Homo-oligomer: A and B are copies of this chain.
Amino acid sequence: MNFEYNQKTKDLLARLNAFMDSHVYPNERLYHEQVCADRWGNPPIIDELKEKARAAGLWNLFLPDSEHGAGLTNVEYAPLCEVMGRAHFSPQIFNCAAPDTGNIETIERYGTQEQKARWLPGMLDGTIRSAFAMTEPEVASSDATNIRSSIVRDGDDYVINGHKWWISGVGDPRCELLIFMGKTDPQAPKHKQQSMILVPLKTPGIEVIRPMTVFGYDDAPHGHMEIRFENVRVPASSILLGEGRGFEIAQGRLGPGRIHHCMRLIGLAERCLELMCRRVSKRVAFGRPIGEQSVTLERIAESRILIDQARLLTLKAAYMMDTVGNKEARAEIAMIKVAAPNMACKVIDWAIQAHGAAGVSQDFVLANYYAHARKIRFADGPDEVHRNQIGRLELAKYAEAT
């Protein structure tokens, strides 16, 4: 495993950090004010910064092996993605935000020429955003075979019915496209029942019901939407890869999506640890700076250890994805999907505690970031599903031998 940053990564990292320092952190407050003023609109600062980022060559960095992107491996992208994750609103500035990154990769990999031509230019341009419609309120969606929305062929069309929620990004005024998962054949073998299909958001029959909240945050204007689909009709050519291929696409799609979440969470945790260190150095209680209490030093030390370990495990998973492929790396991807959000929750919780009540308030990013990290413990499957998979893979090593 070689985690050394090469020259390309070092250059990009230096430019990215400079951009964050000059343009992102100083505008964090402005961004929040603009969102407060027009909760579900386009905060103007985003467009300004997107232009600047593109001009600075910090655009579509996530896209591997591609004429459109930076052509970075996962290991090369990891430190960049981490830095973008330090400010929750910043990945979109570089057109590297979820779920667009996963959706772009999905269309690149599995789309027809026609599908690519229709959607990719706008998505790579950052003028079109997209969402991924899988989770359903009525079933335990961590077991994807439970997904029960229907996609029924009717002449030259498919007709879609279903009820989804937690469809992230639909709140953004730029959001135009859904990748929708549902059953084309409920009678087929379990892993051949599901398909994915491209659905323009303004297709008649789509009703966005409400944003779901995460510990009180609606994450406007991004939003995690509940949506009802009633007889939504799209051309048959909208299907991705073919009927019954939904699982196959999901497998290929989820690896990068998961590891990007983890990279960003590491940046998030670093940011919170920095806030904690700065805070405890300044506040005095019972005659001494809080930072000189051994309880505080212990938490800072444990945070440092947890973050560094999570970063190394992320890099290992990235390295394996780069060298032996997402499928061979599935244990490592599952491991970091468990480790990173739990690490972030723990580090942020300590940082909150070090801030006193201020730590749960709007004056610091901590509580908002905690809510985000806590939510990622469910995204793409809860911890429990991943731990079961890791445990089974480990037991399998000794199965033949016994």
Contact = CB atoms under 8 A, between A and B. Distances in A.
Interface in A318-356: 331-332, 335, 338-339, 352-353, 356
Contact of A215 (B293, B335, B360): B360
A281 B216 contact: no
Contacts of A309: 309-310, 312-313, 339
Interface residues of A, number: 95
A315 B398 CA distance: 26
A213 B361 contact: yes
A151 B249 CA distance: 60
A402 B289 CA distance: 13
Contact of A143 (B285, B305, B308, B313): B285
Nearest to A166: B357
Contacts of A221: none
Given A2-B3, A312-B312, A357-B379, 12 more contacts: A1-B2, A2-B2, A135-B357, A146-B284, A212-B361, A213-B361, A214-B367, A278-B398, A301-B394, A304-B331, A305-B338, A312-B316
Most buried by B among A141, A310, A371: A371
Interface of A: 1-4, 135, 137, 139-143, 146, 165-166, 212-218, 273-274, 277-278, 280-286, 290-291, 293-305, 308-310, 312-313, 315-316, 331-332, 335, 338-339, 352-353, 356-358, 360-363, 367-368, 370-371, 374-375, 377-379, 382-392, 394-395, 397-399, 401-402
15 contacts: A139-B283, A146-B285, A212-B362, A214-B360, A215-B217, A215-B360, A215-B370, A216-B368, A285-B385, A296-B391, A299-B391, A300-B391, A301-B335, A301-B394, A357-B375
B291 A294 contact: no
A215 B215 contact: yes
A388 B312 CA distance: 23
Nearest to A335: B305
B140 A388 contact: no
Contacts of A335: 301, 304-305, 308
A384 B298 contact: yes
A142 B356 contact: yes
A380 to B, nearest CB: 11
A263 to B, nearest CB: 15
Most buried by B among A281, A286, A370: A286
A297 B396 CA distance: 12
